[in-house]
């Protein structure tokens, strides 16, 4: 996947989040994509905002799954591993 595809997917996800009534969180995700100067800043902000959305009780389960998948993908890009690395089995 190239960089533009990833950012398009993240913006599409922000649009879905906004449709669920979380306009402020969707704005924060778009802002992270559009206004970050470095890759670390971008992916760090994106991960943080996705985690905040994931905590929202008003999020539908299908959208929660998409947000979780994107969050794991960003974590792998940022840290080289996903959050499942730290979960006990």
58-68 pLDDT, tens digit per residue, is 899 999 999 99
Residue 63 belongs to a domain: yes
- Expressed as residue numbers, the domain containing 20 is 3-83
What's residue 2's pLDDT? Answer: 62
For residue 36, tell me if it sits in a domain: yes
Low-confidence ranges of the chain (pLDDT < 70): 1-3, 81-89
Q: What is the pLDDT of residue 6?
A: 86
The answer to whether position 12 is within a domain reads yes
Decide if 39 is inside a domain.
Answer: yes
In a domain, residue 89? The reply is: no
Residue 88 inside a domain? The answer is no
16 and 63 Cβ atoms separated by less than 8 Å? yes
pLDDT at 53: 95
DSSP state of 86: G
pLDDT at res. 89: 45
In a domain, 35, yes or no: yes
Angle between helices 23-35 and 3-19 (to 10 degrees): 160
Residue 70: predicted pLDDT: 94
Give pLDDT, residue 88. Answer: 47
CA distances for 51 relative to 1, 2, 19, 58, 86, angstroms? 22, 23, 18, 14, 16
What is the total count of domains within the chain?
Answer: 1
pLDDT at position 67 is: 96
| Residue 74 belongs to a domain | yes
Structure tokens at 54: 């994931």
pLDDT of residue 31: 95
Distance of alpha carbon 15 from alpha carbon 30, whole angstroms: 9
């Amino acid at each position: 996947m190239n960089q533009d595809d990833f950012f398009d997917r993240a913006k599409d996800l922000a649009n879905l989040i906004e449709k669920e009534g979380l306009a402020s969180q969707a704005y924060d995700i778009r802002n992270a994509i559009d206004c970050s100067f470095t890759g670390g800043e971008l992916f760090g902000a994106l991960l943080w905002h996705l985690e905040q959305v994931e905590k929202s009780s008003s999020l539908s389960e299908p959208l929660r799954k998409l947000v979780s998948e994107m969050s794991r993908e960003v974590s792998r890009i940022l840290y080289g591993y996903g959050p499942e690395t730290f979960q006990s089995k």
